[in-house]
Amino acid sequence: MSRDVFDKINQYKEEQKNRGRLLIKCPDQPGIVAAVSKFLFDHNANIIESSQYSTNPEGGHFFFRIEFECPGLKAKKEELTSQFELIAESFNMDWKLSIVSEIKKIAIFVSKELHCLRELLWEWQSGDLMTEIALVVSNHEDSREITEGLGIPFYYIPASKENRAEVEQKQLQLLAEYGVDAIILARYMQILTPSFVAANPFRIINIHHSFLPAFVGARPYDRAYQRGVKLIGATSHYVTNDLDEGPIIEQDIMRVDHRDQIEDLKKIGRSIERSVLARAVRWHLEDRIIVDGNKTIVF
């Protein structure tokens, strides 16, 4: 990690040392916001940001994200977690408490196309993607220079259908060794096995070069060209065992026309892919996403 990035991360940790986030999903009923707000007030916490959404006030689900400042938060984490469990049980909550200064670690998986990797590295260097890039894993050598030039460990692991189980075992060992919190597939052109996905539920973020659900799978730009589309897009989603059908985090589009050839579509598409993936990763790192079935609530 470069000294400049190291300093930015340490400054951020110091600035955010007393800031926490609560993500909550539960059946909708009266009193949820009041109970959570009172709990925070009783622990001398000040609410900085609050967002909520209900699918249906009568019999629906309630989603809640709250960011707060609390003096001595890290020392109080166990106490807060233990005491909040009583509220969570009374409202049947699925919940998570995060300490903002506990920076999440990510691993980036990439193949030959480096535009998404470069975008993530740029966002990280500029301080707009507050994370620790623990390692980069690739089945090609193309990204070694740019990765190691920034002081990030690089692992070249050739992958194919024939050695997939062996490759994923090595990858899982590396993820555990580095204490990785999330895996970013930045145009990693390999299909993950069900066992790998199961080991990382809603911790794998992919970028697909199509506006899903259109053109699932391989060569979407070629198929879009053959279909004569007027819009192309990109989709970032959590990875599940169903190819390109996991919960969608972010999407975007650009207009094209009959003059654009396949290479033009790919060039336009790369620009969309970069920004869509970067936004999805940032929202995940900022605890802005709640998964609900095969959908996401993004605050």
Number of continuous H segments (helices) and E segments (strands) in the chain = 9, 13
The single-letter DSSP state of residue 197 is: H
Residue 96 has pLDDT above 90, yes or no: yes
Question: With pLDDT > 70 as the criterion, what percentage of the chain qualifies?
Answer: 100
Tell me, what's the pLDDT at 172?
Answer: 97
Burial label, 281 (beta-carbon count in 10 A; 0-12, 13-18, 19+): buried
Residue 1 has pLDDT above 80, yes or no: no
Catalytic residue chosen out of the listed positions 244, 260, 264, 292: 244
Q: Judge whether 292 counts as a catalytic residue.
A: no
Over residues 204-236, the pLDDT tens digits come to 999 999 988 888 888 899 999 999 999 999 999
Tell me, what's the pLDDT at 126?
Answer: 94
Residue 2 has pLDDT above 80, yes or no: no
Tell me, what's the pLDDT at 58?
Answer: 82
Task: Specify the pairing of strand 231-238 against strand 248-255.
Answer: antiparallel
H or E segment and range at residue 268: helix 262-285
Q: Where in the chain is the domain with CATH 3.40.50.170?
A: 105-298
Separation between Cα atoms, residue 228 and residue 20, nearest integer Å: 48
Contact 244, 217 (CB under 8 A): yes
Tell me, what's the pLDDT at 79?
Answer: 94
Q: Where in the chain is the domain with CATH 3.30.70.260?
A: 17-99
Over residues 260-293, the pLDDT tens digits come to 999 999 999 999 999 999 999 999 999 999 999 9
The single-letter DSSP state of residue 232 is: E
Tell me, what's the pLDDT at 161?
Answer: 81
Taking the CA of residue 255 as centre, how many other CA atoms within 13 Å lie in the half-sphere pointing to its CB?
1
Tell me, what's the pLDDT at 59?
Answer: 83
Ramachandran sector of residue 7 (left: φ over 0; alpha: ψ -120 to 50; beta: rest): alpha
Residue 20 has pLDDT above 80, yes or no: yes
Residue 3 has pLDDT above 90, yes or no: no
Question: With pLDDT > 90 as the criterion, what percentage of the chain qualifies?
Answer: 89
Separation between Cα atoms, residue 186 and residue 108, nearest integer Å: 7
Residues 6+ apart with CB under 8 A from 267: none
Residue 99 has pLDDT above 90, yes or no: yes
Task: Specify the pairing of strand 289-292 against strand 295-298.
Answer: antiparallel
Tell me, what's the pLDDT at 244?
Answer: 87
Tell me, what's the pLDDT at 214?
Answer: 86
Over residues 30-86, the pLDDT tens digits come to 999 999 999 999 999 999 999 999 998 788 999 999 999 999 999 999 999 999 999
Residue 192 has pLDDT above 80, yes or no: yes
**Which residues, listed in sequence order, are joined to residue 291 by a DSSP beta bridge?**
296
Tell me, what's the pLDDT at 166?
Answer: 93
Sheet with strand 204-208: strands edge to edge: 154-156, 132-138, 105-110, 182-185, 204-208, 231-238, 248-255
Tell me, what's the pLDDT at 185?
Answer: 98
Residue predicted with more confidence, 70 or 243: 70
At the top level of CATH, which class does the domain 105-298 belong to?
A: alpha beta
Superfamily of domain 17-99: ACT domain (3.30.70.260)
Tell me, what's the pLDDT at 4?
Answer: 85
Residue predicted with more confidence, 179 or 6: 179
The single-letter DSSP state of residue 152 is: -
